[in-house]
């Protein structure tokens, strides 16, 4: 299904909720003659809203626990073996690409510079590109092969299972016991294999080792700075806390090395979710394998420079996480390999993106209470207060703990900007979570890091229309019905308006770029 069809379905979905809210608001006009239906519906709405708020509070409380764990628990160190040169194992480096020809030369230059014996390094360029990128990959691979590098290009006409399928196809053509994976927009440091392979040799129970992401273009714009802070919080707070607690460390799809035996024991790469990395890492844990995290090993990469690209990326991650939740939650709770205390924590981890769907439902169900068509009971009011406090305090602590960069003012701007723009993804990520729950499948869409994109001109003009319309509509509704509620919904409204406006500007820029005389 095209993105336009998907957008239309999203509009119809939220239109039905809006109609429901309007119907509830109409209670004020007929409640004197039809009191019983009104009370039954109002109680149902209040119960659903309370339930959603309780679940959101649990998500925030879980985040707060990770913050405390990051602060209070001691650091963990991984052993790193230093075998003799003659004993170094054979390593396969896989580079999955899709329409990223402009990055091929840079990533290959970094891989060739890795400090590892050339006769024990095999490189695979897994390029499923459907544009001119394939020509650039072939030229780069041919040049390196003439120079004596063991490298091959694999191109599949059918993108079966997308990135997971490409990785699996490449694995069939190698017998290397260790597999390093890099997306094209990352640049591994020369000592990457020495540290990661050394760790896997020293710790035979580890399935893989994950390195930390760094950012080449962090300071390009406020958007990239916000993304960097969000990712720094993930790697510096969440991943580090899970590592210290002995919880599984999700593989992040790049900048890591797998033990081939663990991949095969876990069932191999599978493409039935959009986060094949999370899927395989959890399946490996269910088979008894552990995971390692090297926080001090940073691999710089490129952040998306457009709001549109960031939105696409976040949609894919959200949907993929929820797909893994649907797929793996029965296995997690039935697994004897996991201690009982870890099962609810892992469950909350992969269910966390459902917060966007629950948040959207809360906003919609809250409209009758804002308009005065329904009156919140004492229980709902207390739950709303607790959820709001946790919902602000936990993310602020999470984002701030990532570090103070550029002083308190710059840090505050990044933290508040991250809260607002993440709220602006409410509708898009809610759609991702809903599609995952109902089993609706979509293609794996690569995150474009450059601003240039393709697509019909009509689609470019509509970039950000949903978020901008929702933000303006919600703002107008609140100001007409209960202006004080604008304070409570400030993050959601500002986020929708911000993400919508930035996407619309991206669309205008693309139209102008395609037709300078327009």
Reply yes or no on whether the pLDDT at 13 is more than 60.
Answer: no
Q: Could you tell me which residue, 285 or 18, shows the higher pLDDT?
A: 285
Question: Taking residues 13-20, what's their average pLDDT?
Answer: 47
Paired tokens of 382 = 């207390």
Where are the alpha helices (H) located in 372-425, listed in sequence order?
A: 378-400, 407-423
* CA distance linking residue 383 with residue 388, whole number of Å: 8
pLDDT band at 509 (very low <50, low <70, confident <90, very high): confident
Reply yes or no on whether the pLDDT at 123 is more than 90.
Answer: yes
The catalytically annotated residue of 127, 128, 232, 279 is: 128
Give the position of tokens 């239309």.
Answer: 8
Give the position of tokens 């509830």.
Answer: 24
Strands 151-154 and 121-127, by their bridges, are parallel
Percentage of the chain exceeding pLDDT 70: 88
* CA distance linking residue 238 with residue 330, whole number of Å: 24
Question: Taking residues 391-408, what's their average pLDDT?
Answer: 95
Q: What is the domain class of 85-308 according to CATH?
A: alpha beta
How far CA 76 is from CA of 244, 295, 326, 359, 435, in Å, comes to 6, 10, 32, 36, 38
The catalytically annotated residue of 127, 277, 279, 506 is: 277
Cβ atoms of residues 70 and 244 within 8 Å: yes
pLDDT at 459: 56
pLDDT band at 32 (very low <50, low <70, confident <90, very high): very low
Mark whether 128 is an active-site residue.
yes
User: Across the strands, what pairs with 125?
Assistant: 95, 153
What digits encode the pLDDT tens for the residues 129-188?
Answer: 998 899 999 999 999 999 999 999 999 999 899 999 999 999 999 999 999 999 999 999
pLDDT band at 39 (very low <50, low <70, confident <90, very high): low
pTM: 0.91
* CA distance linking residue 417 with residue 428, whole number of Å: 18
pLDDT band at 38 (very low <50, low <70, confident <90, very high): low
Helix-strand-coil percent breakdown of the chain, rounded to 5? 60, 10, 30
Distance of CA 64 to the CA centre of its chain: 19
Cβ atoms of residues 67 and 237 within 8 Å: yes
DSSP string, 141-205: HHHHHHTT--EEEE--SS-TTHHHHHHHHHHTT---SEEEE--TTB---TTHHHHHHHHHHH-TT
The domain limits of the chain are 85-308
What digits encode the pLDDT tens for the residues 433-473?
Answer: 999 999 999 888 777 666 555 555 545 657 899 999 999 99
Reply yes or no on whether the pLDDT at 18 is more than 50.
Answer: no
Reply yes or no on whether the pLDDT at 359 is more than 50.
Answer: yes
Q: Helix, strand or coil for residue 447?
A: coil
The residues, ordered by sequence, that sit 6+ positions from 149 with a Cβ below 8 Å of its Cβ are 112, 118, 123
Mark whether 191 is an active-site residue.
no
How far CA 336 is from CA of 40, 279, 287, 407, in Å, comes to 44, 18, 9, 48
What digits encode the pLDDT tens for the residues 206-239?
Answer: 999 999 999 999 999 999 999 999 999 999 999 9
């Amino acid at each position: 299904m095209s993105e336009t069809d998907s957008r239309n379905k999203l509009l119809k979905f939220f239109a039905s909720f809006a109609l429901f809210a309007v119907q509830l608001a109409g209670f004020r006009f007929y409640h004197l003659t039809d009191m019983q239906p009104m009370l039954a519906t109002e109680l149902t709405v209040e119960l659903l809203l309370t339930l959603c708020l309780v679940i959101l509070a649990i998500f925030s409380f879980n985040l707060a626990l990770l913050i405390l764990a990051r602060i209070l628990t001691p650091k963990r160190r991984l052993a790193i073996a230093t075998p003799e040169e003659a004993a170094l194992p054979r390593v396969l480096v896989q580079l999955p690409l899709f329409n990223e020809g402009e990055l091929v030369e840079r990533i290959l230059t970094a891989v060739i510079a890795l400090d590892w014996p050339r006769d024990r390094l095999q490189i695979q360029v897994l390029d499923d590109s459907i544009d001119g990128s394939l020509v650039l990959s072939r030229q780069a691979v041919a040049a390196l092969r003439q120079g004596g590098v063991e490298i091959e290009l694999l191109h599949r006409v059918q993108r079966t299972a997308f990135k997971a399928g490409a990785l699996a196809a490449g694995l069939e053509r190698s017998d290397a016991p260790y597999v390093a994976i890099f997306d094209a927009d990352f640049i591994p440091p020369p000592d990457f294999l020495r540290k990661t392979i050394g760790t896997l040799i020293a710790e035979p129970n580890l399935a893989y080792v994950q390195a930390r992401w760094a950012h080449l273009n962090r300071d390009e714009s406020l958007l990239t700075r916000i993304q960097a802070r969000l990712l720094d919080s993930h790697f510096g707070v969440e991943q580090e806390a899970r590592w210290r607690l002995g919880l599984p460390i999700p593989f992040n799809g790049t900048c890591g090395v797998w033990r081939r035996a663990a991949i095969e024991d876990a069932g191999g790469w599978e493409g039935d979710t959009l986060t094949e990395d999370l899927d395989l890492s959890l399946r490996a844990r269910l088979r008894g394998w552990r995971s390692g995290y090297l926080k001090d090993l940073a691999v710089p990469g490129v952040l998306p420079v457009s709001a549109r690209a960031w939105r696409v990326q976040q949609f894919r991650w959200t949907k993929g996480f929820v797909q893994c939740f649907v797929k793996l939650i029965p296995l997690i709770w039935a697994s004897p390999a996991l201690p009982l205390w870890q099962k609810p924590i892992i469950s909350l981890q992969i269910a966390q993106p459902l917060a966007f769907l629950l948040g959207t439902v809360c906003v919609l169900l809250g409209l009758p209470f804002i308009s005065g068509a329904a009156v919140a009971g004492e229980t709902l009011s207390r739950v709303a207060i607790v959820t709001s406090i946790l919902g602000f305090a936990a993310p602020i602590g999470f984002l701030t703990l990532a570090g103070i960069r550029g002083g308190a003012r710059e840090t505050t701007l990044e933290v508040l900007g991250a809260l607002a723009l993440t709220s602006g993804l409410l509708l898009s990520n809610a759609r991702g979570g809903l599609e995952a729950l109902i089993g609706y499948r979509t293609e794996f869409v690569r995150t474009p890091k450059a601003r240039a994109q393709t697509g019909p001109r009509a689609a470019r003009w509509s970039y950000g229309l949903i978020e901008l319309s929702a933000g303006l509509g919600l703002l107008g509704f609140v100001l007409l019905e209960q202006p004080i509620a604008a304070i409570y919904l400030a993050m959601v409204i500002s986020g929708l308006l911000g993400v919508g406006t930035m996407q619309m500007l991206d669309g205008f820029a693309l139209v102008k770029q395609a037709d300078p005389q327009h």
